Amino acid sequence: MRIAMIGTGYVGLVSGACFSEFGVDVVCVDKDSSKIEMLEAGRMPIYEPGLENLVKKNVDAGRLSFTTDLATAVASADAVFIAVGTPSRRGDGHADLSYVYGAAKEIAAAVQGYTVVVTKSTVPVGTGREVERIIAETRPDADCDVVSNPEFLREGSAIEDFMRPDRVVIGTKSERAEEVMRELYRPLYLFETPIVFTSRQTSELIKYAANTFLAAKITFINEIADLCEVVDADVQDVARGIGLDGRIGRKFLHAGPGYGGSCFPKDTLALVRTAEEVGRPLRIIETVVDVNAKRKHQMAEKIIAGCGDDVSGKTIAILGVTFKPNTDDMRDSPSIEIVAGLQAAGADVRAYDPEGMTEAKEMMDGVIWCEDAYDAMTDADAVAIVTEWNQFRALDLDRMKDLLSEPVMIDLRNIYNPDEMAQAGFHYVSIGRPATLSAPA
């Protein structure tokens, strides 16, 4: 089995490397020649745990290669995956499908023999039909089936998610295409991975429904956390108390500064637009989008409140700027608005992130970038934890107290224990946990 993966961004690169690990011959294609050169030299364009080793192993085994030559890769492929970006279109929040349609045209011009064209990019319902139309228009003689096969990879654990998924979703009504897809995912039968075969448009919608549901779940617990703060309840116990109900489930109930990243913000918005367009507005998701957007700004206010309602002339240490740990991705990270909010209120910001600083430097002005967490806290008036990297979970509290001008911590990820922080003499503010447990400085 041979496949071509069009687009070596996050999804394409991880999926391509994982398919090659399954024993499939994979050619990853990208227009960006510098990216291809980098990959050929064994360097990764993104940070993802385990990816570099997986790529190297499969390149060495001769199953994985990289090229800018789409036509040659497509011509010899049994299946061609479209894994190009679908960013939010500026202004209206619709998914920008120009890269998907562009790829479809190029693929159509190059296919030889029966080929399954698989959309892996997250695309609105109906995109598969349009890809099919483009292929038929460009090459009326092409023998292709267009299939939807959304990804459910979390950044930071994408390889594990690909290798041991909760499920695989495949949208096609073609038996020939189904056979090719079954063959590609055969290694997963060993783990008895459920494979959901359905129609193409249902598969396209499953992806959006999954992401918007998860975004709603996070937003729900974030609002419950805000309520907890006022009624002196503990959101972590609420999350456990409801999460143990099998119908609710414990995952995705960590209150925090609001969801970010490359998927949830753009996918929630895109589904809202699709639903509006067909006259079936999704009021819950509209509210989720709105509440999450406001939350990021509220987090800056929370830090300011934790600093005695005034940060003018103060220095705040920010630990973590990526939207979550184990990634260097800064897309829609809450830190962007938090830092801007603090600066607007007159604060200086010293920040440290284990992987995200290169990208963050391009997006944030006036931040002093530091060597490590302790460097960031040196002479700062307060420290705020924005991303829950493991290395921030067990900081030396005595050393911190020596470094900080004031022992103030605003923990937007609830990774410290309020009692222990109070005992250590910190003014400790977290999300949705009783303020009575923490002692003032």
Binding site for ligand UDX (CB under 6 A): 151-155, 211, 214, 218, 252-254, 256, 259-264, 323-324
Shortest Å, Cβ 33 to ligand UDX: 27
Contact present, 27 and 81 (Cβ < 8 Å): no
Q: Is 307 noted as a catalytic residue in this protein?
A: no
Q: CB-hemisphere CA count at 13 Å for 216?
A: 17
Number of Cβ within 10 Å of residue 319's Cβ equals: 30
When CB distances to ligand UDX are compared, the closest residue is 263
CB of 173 to ligand UDX, least distance (A): 24
Q: Which ranges in 345-440 belong to alpha helices (H)?
A: 357-363, 373-377, 397-403, 418-423
Q: Note whether 114 and 143 are within 8 A (CB).
A: yes
Residue 189 CB, shortest distance to ligand UDX, in Å, is: 22
| Minimum CB distance to ligand UDX smaller for 124 or for 261 | 261
Distance CA(120)–CA(151), nearest Å, equals 6
CA distance 316 to 234: 26
Q: Is the distance from CB of 404 to CB of 377 less than 8 angstroms? A: yes
92-111 burial, b at 16+ Cβ within 10 Å, e below that, comes to ebbbbbebbbebbebbbebb
SS3 240: helix
Closer residue to ligand UDX, CB minimum distance, 35 or 254: 254
Closest approach of Cβ 278 to ligand UDX, in Å? 23
Of 263 and 270, CB closest to ligand UDX: 263
Among candidate residues 409, 348, 406, 339, the one with its CA nearest the CA of residue 373: 409
Tokens matching residue 30? 């990208």
Q: From the candidates 18, 263, 307, 370, give the one annotated as an active-site residue.
A: 263
Shortest distance, CB of residue 133 to ligand UDX, whole angstroms? Answer: 26
Catalytic residues: 263
